[in-house]
Amino acid sequence: MSEKPVSDLPARVRGEHCVNLFVSVELKERLRMLAERYDRTQADIVRAVLRIGIPMMEGMSEAEETMVREYVQLFRRLRKVRSLKDI
């Protein structure tokens, strides 16, 4: 008797991999034009945009978090300096 390998991944539920998005007419038209231009399906274009865009979005979000954190630190330092001047 051969046993199936046990996977660490949970069993996939039908439709779990699907995402429904509502986009503007203009964006949908741009996606359609890209698909036609490069002879691909609109789904292929959307998948490619997501693959490229997710790392970019992560990088931008990390940079934003760093900027806010550093701004708060700078603000606290300035507030300490001002309070020391008042003494």
Model pLDDT for residues 3-16, shown as the tens digit of each residue? 655 566 667 777 77
At residue 2, φ and ψ (nearest 5 deg) are -95, 135
Model pLDDT for residues 68-87, shown as the tens digit of each residue? 999 999 999 888 888 777 76
Average pLDDT, the chain: 88
Residues 22-58: b if buried by 16+ CB within 10 A, e if exposed: eeeeeeeeebeebbeeeeeeeeebbeeeeeeeeeeee
Over residues 26-50, the mean pLDDT reads: 96
**72 vs 52: CA distance, rounded Å:** 31
Over residues 48-64, the mean pLDDT reads: 96
